[in-house]
Structure 1
Amino acid sequence: MKAASGSGKDFPDGYIYPYNVWDFVRPSFFCPHDLERIGALGDGGKVVCGMSRYERECPGPSSKQNKAQELIVYSFGVSDDSSFEAALLQRTNAAIWGYDYS
């Protein structure tokens, strides 16, 4: 792929290009809360509806708040970029189940 692109250098994340087409597409669903992209640019990041709400209700490991609320996240198509899941683990007390068929 490097030869086809004419580039001899990789970007730091290992991809030839620093982004993909989906980084420029805005979500097409209605969200009554805040929209925030979580994770790296490219295939790893995802748009989350209400992330501040999840952080408030299920605070992350650095918080001293009661963690009685449980947040379960099912992530499909993880592949080799789990930056979305890593960011969720840092910011919430989520139990993440990741699946990938490839």
Structure 2
Amino acid sequence: MLQEKQFGTPYFNPWDEVMYYWWYFPASFVCPHDIQHVGRLSDGGKWICGMSLYEEKPRAKCVMYSFGINDNTHYEGEMLDRTDCEIFAYDASVTSMGPEATGPRAHFKPYFIGSTNRVDENGNTWKTLKTIMQENGHDWIDILKVDVEGSEYGTFDSIMEDFGDVLPFTQLQIELHVREDMVSFGDFLKWWERLESRGVYPWWTELNLNPTYYGQRDWASEYCFLNTRGGAKNILIQNYV
């Protein structure tokens, strides 16, 4: 079937009705702990692997990063309520976190995450994950949330270059965007395989159906990844290695 569809050539159509784009990238791994939904039941909510472990974990060892919050911080607010984690949120399109996410454990700066450190033509500040972690004095992130509207590919290319074979987070909640003006199928496939080569595997996915309401293809999907590396820093694999 793939040969008939000219897979591997420029003529391949990942939106074909027989083999739909997202079918090529299933969430084929398994979270070895409890799975709980955090945040509102729509765009912005996330599924957490081992939520009960974070609820028990001491604050000094629980760190969350959230890139891309826009006007929705229900997820961050619920995590603050249910855990003792500290949250470091970044988004240059807003001036603060929402009223759901306040207090001494909520930290916000108006930065975009990107592949380089720079200030763009609009005056927005962009910083790499490595730079931000150095500024915060962190060497590991328990939960990393990324929703950056298509710039995730260049950002994670930089992260993989900066950190090598062991990426600095336990789990990743990310919205992936595959609109044609954001990434080609071939480049997405290479990016996906490169992430998996670092021991980071998907265990949950759900489509963002908002584009469907406007007559568009389903070009965005939420994914949850588990890092199988990190040793003692990674609370989710300590009993499974």
Query: Which TM-score band applies after superposition, normalised by the shorter structure?
Result: 0.5 to 0.7
Q: Which position in structure 2 is the counterpart of 1:10?
A: none
- Share of identical aligned residues, percent? 46
Q: Which one-letter code corresponds to 2:34 in the other structure?
A: D
Q: Which position in structure 1 is the counterpart of 2:91?
A: 100
Q: Which position in structure 1 is the counterpart of 2:81?
A: 90
Q: Which one-letter code corresponds to 1:92 in the other structure?
A: T
Superposition deviation, residue 30 in structure 1: 2.1
**Unmatched segments (≥5 aa) in structure 1:** 1-26, 59-66
Larger radius of gyration, structure 1 or 2? 2
Describe how 1:13-92 pairs up with structure 2 within 5 A. 28=27, 29-58=29-58, 69-92=60-83
TM-score, normalization by structure 1: 0.57
Could you tell me whether the CA contact under 8 Å between 1:40 and 1:83 is conserved in 2? Answer: yes
The structure 1 segments of at least 4 consecutive aligned residues displaced by more than 4 Å after TM superposition are none
In 2: Cα distance, 1:34 partner to 1:51 partner: 7
**Unmatched segments (≥5 aa) in structure 2:** 1-25, 94-241
Q: Which one-letter code corresponds to 1:71 in the other structure?
A: C
Higher strand share: 2
Q: Which of 1 and 2 has higher RCO (CA within 8 Å, sep 6+)?
A: 1
Superposition deviation, residue 101 in structure 1: 4.4
RMSD of equivalent CA atoms: 1.9
Aligned length: 67
Superposition deviation, residue 99 in structure 1: 1.7
